[in-house]
A and B are shown apart, each in its own frame.
Chain A
Amino acid sequence: MSIFVNKDTKVIVQGITGSQGRFYALRNRDYGTQVVGGVSPKKAGEDVEGIPVFATVAEAKEATGATVSMILVPAPFAQAAVLEAADAGIELIVPLTEGIPAQDEALFYNRVKRNHPNARILGPNCPGLVTIGECNIGFIPAEVALPGEVGIVSRSGTLTYQALKELGEKGIGVSTCVGIGGDPVPGTSFIDCLSAFEKDPATKAVIMFGEIGGSAEEEAAEFIAKEMSKPVVAYVAGVTAPPGRKMGHAGAIISGSKGTAQAKMDALTAAGVRVGLNPTEAGDLMAEVVKGL
């Protein structure tokens, strides 16, 4: 078991004939993911190493039965790509593209939510997600991770990899690892992932990596206190970040007294979450939690 994706999940890639689209489509297929098709209007009818290319998402879905689309088109075209996927009935839309204008993100998130309430967007500007040993969609290097009982959810790309590594080094297996992305309007929140992990019988504990900016970690803390029975370990990056400066991610900015790492760690601690001061410490805390399961 796992959350969101598994070995039966069929995936198409929007932008498959671009250099990134091609690279990750093949890499994900090598992992074992069922990459069943791609979309590229000008190259319809061709194939990418055996993966058929279609003109539209609707055609690709019709021909392959895909339920998930990974989007790797340039930022100016991302909004149209997300809306096309949703209109075609794709259930999980994963825009990996970075640099999408915030106005576009806000618009496509709300439009998809209104017209297709059952569709989920993961990202944009996220590393993707992987159910270990079954299905990898996106950038996460999961070849060395072991399948197991810990769920991972993280806002940042490389910190997602770091989380996998910290657990891997301690021999701790992972069920599903989700990178929700650091942009201002993430389609999938910490709470969405925590809630799914809580319901997933294969996941026994969750590790979450947050960062400065916004209030997603505080909201997650509130959810954990009220709704979660499974143990949670957390780490929040950006203790040393100065207020008012964007730290790479569009979302990672401390505004006024809000969004500081300390406030987030305090909220999580108060919710019964064990908080590590760095990724390694969080890994050690999870090792203790796993021992007690």
Chain B
Amino acid sequence: MDLFEYQGKQYFARYGISVSAGGVADAVEDAVAQADAAGYPVVVKAQVQVGGRGKAGGIKLAANADEVREHAGNILGLDIKGHVVRRLWVEHASDIAEEYYASFTLDRSAKKHLAMVSAKGGVEIETVAEEDPTAIAKMHVDPVDGLTEADARKLVEEAGLNPKAHDGAVEILLNLWRCYTEGDADLVEINPLILTPEGTVHALDAKVSLDDNAAFRHPEWEEFAGVAQIDPREAMAKAKGLQYVGLDGDVGIIANGAGLAMSTCDVVNQVGGSPANFLDIGGGASADVMAGALEVINADAAVKSIFINIFGGITKGEDVANGIVQALGRVDIKAPIVIRLDGTNAEQGREILKSYESDKLISVPTMVGAAEKAVSLAGGN
């Protein structure tokens, strides 16, 4: 789960990472109230989960209430690369002497955590990495040892931060490490991390991505869950406990297992079609799960045909077939369905489906053959 900037800052604050005074606003007058509380001048920032907010006019400095009103009015409702701004973060503007970068994430190749610190902050770290890779100090952190104060000091020295910033940056790195590990994040990033003319160091932005698998030990995450911007199809699938990703095509996909679901999308694409979604119903394929999956696909107006691709491993073919039949009784499906049923007891399963077959329910034994059928029914190729 990716957090918005304001949520990331709230999460940072839990771990003692210093951020600017500020607050959230969903309307122009709320923004003025938050600005009054934070103290002028303020920065009005669009809350969208996409890069390039500044260039798109989503971040503005305001010296007084009238300017806050003007900027908040312009930014609310602004479309930034397809993300419409519904919420603002208004914070006291900081005087900036220097801008740095700091982050922790998992390096999957090394199977260790990776700390990165750079004296070149305020721009995308990928750009720094390309243009001046030596400007980034990197360190692998073994999870068994954790980040020590000596490690943090080595990082800020190697990155070439201003000596005035060293103590403040070390303290922030140690807190950011706790936020990353105890806070169960996949990524924590501060860009920019600033040094003020007074010599204090604090986080001017916050990028936090939480590990959904750790939700069981973070009841406090519930406040973040409701406001994430997601596709309505994805919200519906999530409510049913299904793994769903919306795509742009017209062939609805239902498969069991993430790898098979991805592969199904690929095969549809290879035979000249375009998948409408990725949907993994997981290991089992009970009638409830199948009905839920069909409801989600059915709610997508773009879907012209549905390809159900099930490899019955543990789940037996007859159970899958019965699940589909029961699901069809519960949901009025608009698009024709092509089923490829394979694996354990697949023949028994296909036998059950036989009496229900029609031009709206077609069984094809192979994955490629079924994909071709589904694509032709969708009108492609």
Contacts and interface: CB of A to CB of B under 8 A. Distances in A.
Interface of A: 75-76, 99-103, 106-107, 109-111, 114, 127, 139-141, 143, 154-162, 165, 182, 184-185, 209, 211-212, 214-216, 219, 235, 237-242, 245-252, 256, 261, 277-280
A283 to B, nearest CB: 11
User: What's the interface size class on B, roughly?
Assistant: 35 or more
B111 A154 contact: no
B112 A100 contact: no
Contacts of A239: 266, 269-270
Contacts of A100: 213
A102 B342 CA distance: 33
A249 B259 contact: yes
Interface in B245-268: 245, 247, 255-263, 265-268
A213 B275 CA distance: 20
A114 B259 contact: no
B344 interface: yes
19 contacts: A75-B213, A76-B217, A102-B186, A102-B211, A106-B113, A107-B144, A110-B144, A127-B313, A139-B314, A159-B260, A161-B343, A165-B343, A184-B106, A211-B259, A235-B263, A240-B266, A242-B247, A247-B261, A280-B368
A237 B278 CA distance: 12
Contacts of B267: 278
Interface of B: 106, 108-109, 111-113, 126, 142-144, 181, 184, 186, 211, 213-214, 216-217, 243, 245, 247, 255-263, 265-270, 275, 278, 280, 283, 311-314, 342-344, 366-368
Contacts of B262: 156, 211-212, 237-238, 240-241, 247-248, 252
Main secondary structure of the interface of B (DSSP, over half): mixed
B275 A240 contact: yes
Contacts of B280: 247-248
A161 B311 contact: yes
Nearest to B242: A248
A215 B109 contact: yes
Contacts of B311: 158, 161-162, 165
Contact of B181 (A103, A109, A156, A252): A103
B302 to A, nearest CB: 15
B259 A237 contact: yes
A214 B144 contact: no
A214 B260 CA distance: 18
A129 B266 CA distance: 26
Contact of B245 (A76, A107, A245, A251): A245
